[in-house]
Structure 1
Amino acid sequence: MTTGILSIDQGTTSTRAIVFNKQGQPLFSAQQEFTQIYPNNGWVEHDPEEIWSTTLSVCHEVLDKAQSAGVKVVGIGITNQRETTLVWDKVTGKPLYNAIVWQDRRTASICAQMHEKSEEITAKTGLLLDPYFSATKIAWILDHVEGARAKAEKGEVAFGTIDTFLIWRLTKGQSHVTDTTNASRTNVFNIYDMQWDDELCEWFNVPRSVLPEVLDCAADFGVTAAGVLPLELPIAGVAGDQQAALVGQCGFDKGALKSTYGTGCFALLNTGTKPLASRSRLLTTVGFTLNGQTHYALEGSIFTAGANVQWLRDGIQVIDTARASQPLAESLDYDHGVVLVPAFAGLGAPHWKPNARAAIYGMTRDTSNAHFARAALEAVCYQTHDLLVAMQQDGVAVSSVLVDGGMVANNWLCQFLADMVQVDIQRPTNMESTALGAAFLAGLQLGIYADVEEVAQLKAIGSVFTPTIDTDIRSACLQRWEAALKSTLMFHEC
């Protein structure tokens, strides 16, 4: 009988469940999108109950398929949108407020008030003081929901990123846990001693009692309670989506660089077992922790990537499907002249301007749907170029980039990316690296894999895109991007 691992991939715009076999091949999958809520300018929320219902739905669907096909599912791995913040009642399990999404900028003023602590916060967490991370979101919920802080002070409230919330629900409240990667994205976790930090909790006004227990990425996170899923299964692997993608790309060795193109774009560079402090405003974060040993990473975060294409489709409705962006982009030459700076949720690394807003430059009466589509795709590549430049400034030489995520099914995008960053772009055979990474972690804990060396043997590169662009054309493209970026940052200061 074939052995399978259920991977729950709870992302920013959809929830997926995939059953993988031991060879890392996807056998069955299901996916459901859910509602994006925008209550105010710069605010982004999700309905926790909708996240839960979509999770149950896709899990039931793939488990039923697996059972019908005679596949024995033996455990669960979970990967999730990071930093997105939930607070719920420990007795009822009911959330006190909607999930505040990682993209949300409502706490920018709180961060500004804490500016004098910024260097100390970075020294402990590897992160910047920014609304992106969970700590200010926790404090906002406790201070804006009636009675929430009082309940928290009594130990009646739990905080969690999405992984923690799902585990709580799957185990019917028996497990209030997270892993080191998700903990490292909260701004209240010290990545040097790998513990919640009392001083950080005090600065951010986050009660220690609300925080979950922190485990390795491959660990015993609990067992699903009877009746929740068709099977009672151990939850054996957890990692935030970007770190899970690093594992899924088998980036276990120092120097491995992966870049995931989902709702946002996140480049993660394995820097080994010692944290590397960035001089270029990149993040120092946990890459993964296995058998008590942590590998660290440098990370560059771009807040909107696939979200740019979603905006084209759902916002201004210039395309019907994401796939339609590729032929539109291919229809134009390099000198089309339109540049999009996609600061829809502010600008991430290396700029960190939470209040910057998107702008488009170079439009004429001839500007068409094709220009919007190409500019949206190009912007992702330009921003990736900026991240790799920042990594080089930190003394790290990049020889190739492992890519994954929904956007990289677009061959034009991969080629343009290679042209802009001037290194080979390697695309795996299985582009579901995030979900695969969660499955690998669960497999390690369950003994399906003996060690990471056995997992690494499963790595399979499907396509390689090599730079081919003329030097002068590339320079002109990057100059237009830099001018547009500079103008957007100047407008932000007005």
Structure 2
Amino acid sequence: MTGPVLAVDQGTSGTKALVICPERGVIGSGSAPVNPRYGTGGSVETDPEALLSSVLDAGRQALADAGEPVAAVGLANQGETVLAWDPATGRPLTDAIVWQDRRSEPICAELAPHADDLTRLTGLPLDPYFAAPKMAWIRRELTRAGVVTTSDAWLVHRLTGAFVTDAATAGRTQLLDLDRVAWSSEALAVYGLAGERLPEVVDADGQVGITTAFGPATPLSGLLVDQQAALLAQSVTEPGVAKCTYGTGAFLLAQTGSRPRRTTTGLVSCVAWRLGGRTSYCLDGQVYTAASAVRWLTDLGVISGAADLDPVGSAVPDSGGVTFVPALAGLAAPWWRGDLRGSLTGLGLDTGPGQLVRALCEGIAAQVVELAEAAATDLGAPLTGLRVDGGLTRSTLLMQTQADLLQLPVEVSALPDVTALGVGAVARMGLDPELTAEQAVPAWKPSAVYEPRISATEAAERLAGFRREVAALLDRTPAVDRTPAADR
């Protein structure tokens, strides 16, 4: 039995840290904010030193709260956020380009003839969401110096001196061969990154180095990208069940087992984790704006925050015919149209905050339904349930809307901060090779289960209204022609 571990989840808008004891559960916690900067032209950036400071601050808070030492540290990361940095000094050479940043769209347009080959190799569609287009953009627009990597490699280097990334995070770059779980020379050449020094791809549960950043020398023995850490923490280790995390965006993942399943529906096929040299795979779908759409309504003064969703939305019986497609940062899977803008239709003089809130909840939930149905198609069998986590799961209105439109039970995690719990489990496995994932992860016990309260017919009608508005958006905004001018 290993002792307590420190699990750190470095996220888009903040870092959370937990001290987790295998016998007593969470015995300490800490958090620190991160403030991405949203600029013109689709830019989203963060000061890398602020990311590191948030990791140190949150981790030290959690340790102080626990009041006892830990046996290991685990680190979860944002996935597709990248930066250039000096490997000799660890000094950042650029800001961190956040996963939401869209400035590499011209590079994706230029590489369109290679799109099918890249997807076949890596499992990922050609889109600025992933790390490789951002890495190529940094090299073209900002600097050729140093190394360019995902943010986890830089954080681990600053903590331990190691130069590594876990297999699941590497799988978010569009530079990893999905079948071999190794860097793809072909993909690197397509992106003009063939000469780059890249971090070693390691297991999630490997001891990668020693850190003294949190006090006494402690092994860093767990690394995993955030959404896959949440998948593990929710015990989604077999096909049939999916999980969805409602954070800045919403992210649905479904386990596919020991072999990659190429998607036919527009989802992402990627590494779930590599533990003890054995790789598991998953299907992944994204909604770009969930909590960020709630923040948008808040900034407009419609509500005062996420806590208002239930009281404001429940004050009216329905959306009053209002349909909200909250594509405020574009549409991700299965459409992959980051250039789209959101739409709000069906407004009338009787439209008030309650109708807008209900329409937003339906818009978020409807996108998740699209992802769940796509996953079921790729798996060849319907999903049996959805396990959910994240801040927005506190909204009864959103969760009931999700169950109604999905026509499946929605199980809300009883444990907060599941991403940290997942990477904490991996850190324990890194200390004890005999420990299995099932043993390391707390038994799944939902705090609430939402069952559908409307008929399948009514759910289909409401989804059809949402899909009509998405179709109208697609019609009004033709896809950018990514064919190079010389080939037109």
TM-score by shorter chain over 0.5: yes
- The residue correspondences of 1:169-318 to structure 2 (distance < 5 A) are 169-171=158-160, 174-225=161-212, 228-313=213-298, 315-318=299-302
2:79 paired residue number: 82
Instruction: Give SS of 1:18's match.
Output: strand
Which of 134, 156, 168 does residue 131 from structure 2 map onto? 134
**1:48 equivalenced with 2:33 (yes/no):** no
Cα distance in structure 2, aligned partners of 1:278 and 1:191: 13
Would the alpha carbon gap of residues 331 and 129 (structure 1) be closer, same or farther in structure 2, given more than 3 Å must change?
A: same
Q: Is the 8 A contact 2:235 2:438 kept in 1?
A: no
**1:121 equivalenced with 2:110 (yes/no):** no
Instruction: Give SS of 1:462's match.
Output: strand
Q: Is the 8 A contact 1:63 1:230 kept in 2?
A: no
Can you give the 5+ residue segments of structure 2 that lack an aligned partner in the other structure? 480-488
Shift of 1:250: 1.6
- The residue correspondences of 1:339-378 to structure 2 (distance < 5 A) are 339-378=323-362
1:391 paired residue number: 375
Q: Which letter maps to 1:334?
A: D
2:395 paired residue number: 410
2:10 paired residue number: 10
Q: Is the 8 A contact 1:24 1:436 kept in 2?
A: no
Shift of 1:434: 0.9
Q: Is the 8 A contact 1:334 1:473 kept in 2?
A: no
Instruction: Give SS of 2:4's match.
Output: strand
Which of 389, 413, 420 does residue 428 from structure 1 map onto? 413
Report Cα offsets for 1:40-84 as digits up to 9, x if no partner: 1322111111111222111111112222xxx33111111111111
- The residue correspondences of 1:99-118 to structure 2 (distance < 5 A) are 99-118=96-115
Range moving further from structure 2, 304-313 or 442-451: 442-451
Cα distance in structure 2, aligned partners of 1:423 and 1:100: 37
Report Cα offsets for 1:306-326 as digits up to 9, x if no partner: 11112222x313222211112
Q: Is the 8 A contact 1:66 1:73 kept in 2?
A: no
Cα distance in structure 2, aligned partners of 1:54 and 1:238: 17
**1:163 equivalenced with 2:152 (yes/no):** yes
Q: Kindly report the root-mean-square deviation, in angstroms, between the aligned alpha carbons of the 2 structures.
A: 1.9
2:443 paired residue number: 458
Would the alpha carbon gap of residues 449 and 423 (structure 1) be closer, same or farther in structure 2, given more than 3 Å must change?
A: farther
Q: Which letter maps to 1:378?
A: E
Q: Is the 8 A contact 2:222 2:423 kept in 1?
A: yes
Report Cα offsets for 1:127-152 as digits up to 9, x if no partner: 0011111111111111112xx22x3x
Cα distance in structure 2, aligned partners of 1:426 and 1:364: 35
Shift of 1:456: 5.0
Would the alpha carbon gap of residues 428 and 203 (structure 1) be closer, same or farther in structure 2, given more than 3 Å must change?
A: same
Q: Which letter maps to 2:20?
A: F
Instruction: Give SS of 2:424's match.
Output: helix
Cα distance in structure 1, aligned partners of 2:94 and 2:441: 41
1:437 paired residue number: 422
Instruction: Give SS of 2:222's match.
Output: strand
Q: Which letter maps to 1:212?
A: P
Cα distance in structure 2, aligned partners of 1:308 and 1:448: 42
Which of 467, 471, 474 does residue 459 from structure 2 map onto? 474
Shift of 1:121: 0.3
Cα distance in structure 2, aligned partners of 1:400 and 1:254: 11
1:33 paired residue number: 33
Cα distance in structure 2, aligned partners of 1:409 and 1:77: 26
Would the alpha carbon gap of residues 463 and 442 (structure 1) be closer, same or farther in structure 2, given more than 3 Å must change?
A: same
Instruction: Give SS of 2:397's match.
Output: helix
Range moving further from structure 2, 277-286 or 468-477: 468-477
Q: Which letter maps to 1:402?
A: R
Count of matched residue positions in the alignment of Structure 1 and Structure 2? 478
Q: Which letter maps to 2:335?
A: H
Cα distance in structure 1, aligned partners of 2:325 and 2:434: 44
Q: Is the 8 A contact 1:22 1:448 kept in 2?
A: no
Q: Which letter maps to 1:478?
A: L
Can you give the 5+ residue segments of structure 1 that lack an aligned partner in the other structure? 152-156
Q: Which letter maps to 2:129?
A: Y
Would the alpha carbon gap of residues 25 and 449 (structure 1) be closer, same or farther in structure 2, given more than 3 Å must change?
A: farther
Q: Is the 8 A contact 2:407 2:456 kept in 1?
A: no
Q: Is the 8 A contact 2:407 2:459 kept in 1?
A: no
Would the alpha carbon gap of residues 478 and 272 (structure 1) be closer, same or farther in structure 2, given more than 3 Å must change?
A: same
Q: Which letter maps to 1:279?
A: T
Structure 2 length normalisation: TM-score? Answer: 0.94
Structure 1 length normalisation: TM-score? Answer: 0.93
Report Cα offsets for 1:98-141 as digits up to 9, x if no partner: 11111111111111111111111011100001111111111111
Cα distance in structure 1, aligned partners of 2:59 and 2:440: 24
Q: Is the 8 A contact 2:386 2:408 kept in 1?
A: yes
Shift of 1:23: 4.3
Q: Is the 8 A contact 1:443 1:449 kept in 2?
A: no
Shift of 1:431: 3.1
Cα distance in structure 1, aligned partners of 2:22 and 2:357: 39
Cα distance in structure 2, aligned partners of 1:283 and 1:481: 23
Q: Is the 8 A contact 2:2 2:428 kept in 1?
A: no
